[in-house]
């Protein structure tokens, strides 16, 4: 074998041992993601010793199963529900921000009134 061919072979990624996870382990990991709204999938995956992509795929699959358990909805309908959920989450964040901003303004207003 020539030196060039050896170099090409050496550059190939090596297969690693894959770990298989039971449905219970997957469900537990997805549950942790759902119950930890302030944490990223990356952080949770690192804590659990998983690859980020693996955990993300499990979360997406679980979300699809939750939206359409029997798989009878069209892709367009599932996509629409997904979009509405994202919009709902965004509106919820906006509302939380507005509440915090109002509380902050009230606090500043009280400080100004108390200093007079």
pLDDT at 27: 93
In this structure, the number of other CB atoms found within 10 A of the CB of residue 10 comes to 8
Residues 46, 51, 57, 59, Cα dihedral to 10°: -20
What does each of the 116 residues of the chain score in pLDDT, given as a tens digit? Answer: 555 555 555 555 555 667 889 999 999 999 999 999 889 999 999 999 999 999 999 999 998 888 778 878 888 988 899 899 899 999 999 999 999 999 999 999 888 877 66
Distance of CA 80 to the CA centre of its chain: 19
Residue 20 three-state SS? coil
Cβ contacts of 74-78, under 8 Å, gap ≥ 24: none
The closest of 78, 40, 37 to 61, measured between CA atoms, is 78
**Residues 54 and 43: beta-carbon distance below 8 Å:** no
Q: Which residues, other chains included, contact 82 with Cβ-Cβ below 8 Å and sequence gap of 6+? A: 63, 67
* pTM summary value: 0.56
């Amino acid at each position: 074998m020539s030196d060039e061919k050896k170099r090409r072979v050496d550059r190939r990624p090596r297969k690693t041992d894959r770990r298989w996870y039971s449905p219970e382990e997957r469900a537990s990991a997805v549950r942790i993601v759902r119950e930890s709204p302030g944490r990223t999938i990356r952080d949770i995956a690192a804590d659990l010793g998983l690859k980020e992509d693996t955990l993300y795929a499990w979360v997406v699959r679980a979300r699809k199963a939750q939206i359409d358990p029997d798989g009878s909805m069209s892709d367009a309908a599932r996509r629409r529900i997904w979009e509405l959920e994202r919009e709902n989450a965004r509106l919820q964040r906006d509302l939380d921000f507005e509440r915090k901003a109002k509380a902050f303004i009230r606090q500043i207003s009280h400080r100004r009134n108390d200093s007079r």
